[in-house]
Amino acid sequence: MKFQKLCVIGLGYIGLPTASTFAAQGLQVVGVDVNPSVLETLRNGGVHIHEPGLRTLVEAALRSGRLTIREKPEEADAFIIAVPTPFYEDCFGEHDERWYKRADMRAVASATESIVPVLQRGNLVILESTSPPRTTVDLVAPILEKSGLRAGVDFHLAYSPERVLPGQILRELIENARVIGGVTPESARAGRDLYAIFVKGEIVQTDATTAEMVKLMENTYRDVNIAIANEFARLAERFGVDIWEAIRIANLHPRVRILSPGPGVGGHCISVDPWFLVEAAPDLTPLIAMARRVNDGQPHYAVALIKRALGSLAGKRIAALGLAYKPDVDDLRESPAVEVVRLLQQEGALVRAFEPFKPQADLPGLTTVAALEDALRETECIVLLVRHGQFVALQPAEVAAITAARLVVDMVNAWKAEDWQAAGFRLYRLGVGSPESRGDGAR
């Protein structure tokens, strides 16, 4: 199938890079979003997402006239749906007396509805949003068929999950292997023809429900593996072991690759997607649900460590370094660092948080500062929550010159104990515990 014009619905972390990359390849791309502030920012030449290289790509696409920004889809050869699938905060399913979160598919449903008036025979529609198994056949196809056209007969329909890593989206979009699951083999082939325009990785064709499962399995696999790393860190603290050293040694085994413990799992993918499988089959997913609960409990565990370091939290002044959900991104969605700060405050601590990738972050109930010095000054304890490169590079002696605090809690194994101790700090590390609990004084 040949493509000249494409509509990308949803101009977020996935839709905007995808739309701009297609435009860079010479396609006429209509970028659609329902959020007026996103539309306004893009129309004024701004970009609402921080992702390396994205601004340049979007600016070039807009300047060339190949990317236009609209409120509604127009007639086109192909449509890509890349809207978010959050979970309901207040709508939980219940199974076995346990609660689980449910996916909110309203944005997918309404983006699909918006295509119906402009859908034509021979078109290709692709869903990219992470979705519970069977969404393409059970939700998207029936909506599109309101047009009078039949999925897989009159138009092609496929599911193609996005698997790029925030922070490396533009490179991974092109280089990663891509899965295309069609409602028919012809739909999968049409999808392959579209992505082959820029994808250099292997393009694997399968059916739509398999492609949905693949996406959810990948992120669930990672979540479960992080959960076990977090549990190992708790065990290490109890037994006076340095988890980082233990993981390094265990990972020398050729078939072992333990991930890193931390203050929890955030972001809009790994902390959410496993629930889509639990929701679809709660009776079959006790392990997946438990891993989610372990990782969701990790911010509480991190706060307990800070409490041990400080004795008590009430009235204590704490500098929190990092609010993003992971290193070197500006994304605060579902961030465990934010959760840690909230929990600290609930226990009466006075926290000043600094996020270098979003220095102006305005989070209700949180005190954020725009410069590292503002967080460090007049604090009693420095808590490192995100392994941003610039925090890893901090020199203890320079920090000591700014602050009177001599207590540091490192949740992400960024800092060398010897260096900080040499500068006069007392260092607590997640997965290692207090110097006293180890009984060797040196760490």
Write out the catalytic residue numbers: 215, 269
Which of positions 362-391 make contact with ligand SAJ (CB under 6 A)?
A: none
What's the min distance (Å) between Cβ of 154 and ligand SAJ? 31
**Binding segment for ligand SAJ among 31-39, 147-155, 245-253, 258-266 (CB under 6 A)?**
258-266
Give the contact letters, 334-363, x = binds to ligand SAJ (CB under 6 A), - = no: --x---------------------------
Q: Are 107 and 10 in contact (CB under 8 A)?
A: yes
Cβ-based nearer residue to ligand SAJ, 20 or 28: 20
What's the min distance (Å) between Cβ of 177 and ligand SAJ? 11
Which of positions 140-199 make contact with ligand SAJ (CB under 6 A)?
A: 162-166
The yes or no reply on residue 272 touching ligand SAJ (CB under 6 A) is no
C-beta neighbour count of 90 within 10 angstroms = 6
Site size for ligand SAJ (CB under 6 A): 21
From residue 104, alpha-carbon distances to 18, 32, 128, 275 in Å are 23, 20, 15, 11
Cβ-based nearer residue to ligand SAJ, 226 or 353: 226
* Alpha carbon 186 to its chain's center: 32
What's the min distance (Å) between Cβ of 350 and ligand SAJ? 25
**Binding segment for ligand SAJ among 90-98, 108-116, 121-129, 261-269 (CB under 6 A)?**
261-269
Buried b (16+ CB within 10 A) or exposed e, 397-417: eebbeebebebbbbbbbbbeb
The yes or no reply on residue 10 touching ligand SAJ (CB under 6 A) is no
The two structure tokens encoding residue 247: 């993981």
Which of positions 197-236 make contact with ligand SAJ (CB under 6 A)?
A: 218-219, 222, 226
Taken in order 205, 215, 195, 68, the sign of the CA dihedral is positive
Q: Are 268 and 332 in contact (CB under 8 A)?
A: no
Q: Which of 266, 299, 322, 356 binds ligand SAJ (CB under 6 A)?
A: 266
Q: Which of 267, 299, 322, 356 binds ligand SAJ (CB under 6 A)?
A: 267
SS3 295: helix
Q: Which of 34, 170, 259, 290 binds ligand SAJ (CB under 6 A)?
A: 259
The yes or no reply on residue 413 touching ligand SAJ (CB under 6 A) is no
Residue 34: half-sphere exposure toward Cβ, Cα within 13 Å: 13
Q: Are 57 and 24 in contact (CB under 8 A)?
A: yes
Q: Which residue has the closest beta carbon to ligand SAJ? A: 269
Which of positions 116-145 make contact with ligand SAJ (CB under 6 A)?
A: 130
Is beta strand 407-410 parallel, antiparallel or unpaired with respect to 381-384?
parallel
Q: Which of 320, 394, 323 is nearest to 358 (CA)?
A: 323
Cβ-based nearer residue to ligand SAJ, 182 or 266: 266
What region does 89 belong to: left with phi over 0, alpha with psi -120 to 50, or beta?
alpha
What's the min distance (Å) between Cβ of 224 and ligand SAJ? 11
* Alpha carbon 32 to its chain's center: 22
The yes or no reply on residue 325 touching ligand SAJ (CB under 6 A) is yes
Q: Which of 66, 292, 326, 358 binds ligand SAJ (CB under 6 A)?
A: 326
What's the min distance (Å) between Cβ of 247 and ligand SAJ? 10
- The strand ranges marked E within 104-218 are 124-127, 156-159, 178-182, 203-207
Q: Which of 205, 206, 210, 260 binds ligand SAJ (CB under 6 A)?
A: 260
The yes or no reply on residue 265 touching ligand SAJ (CB under 6 A) is yes
Cβ-based nearer residue to ligand SAJ, 149 or 258: 258
Cβ-based nearer residue to ligand SAJ, 405 or 414: 414
What's the min distance (Å) between Cβ of 16 and ligand SAJ? 14
**Binding segment for ligand SAJ among 45-53, 76-84, 235-243, 263-271 (CB under 6 A)?**
263-271
Cβ-based nearer residue to ligand SAJ, 73 or 161: 161
- The strand ranges marked E within 110-150 are 124-127
Tally: H helices and E strands in the chain: 18, 16
Specify the DSSP class assigned to residue 321: E
The two structure tokens encoding residue 51: 């992702």
Q: Are 416 and 394 in contact (CB under 8 A)?
A: no
Torsion, CA 372, CA 373, CA 374, CA 379, rounded to 10: 100
Is beta strand 203-207 parallel, antiparallel or unpaired with respect to 178-182?
parallel
Q: Bridge partners of 29? A: 6, 67
Q: Are 57 and 21 in contact (CB under 8 A)?
A: yes
Q: Which of 127, 270, 341, 399 binds ligand SAJ (CB under 6 A)?
A: 270
Q: Are 160 and 147 in contact (CB under 8 A)?
A: no
Cβ-based nearer residue to ligand SAJ, 73 or 191: 191
Where do contacts with ligand SAJ occur on this chain (CB under 6 A)? 130, 162-166, 218-219, 222, 226, 259-260, 262, 265-267, 269-270, 325-326, 336
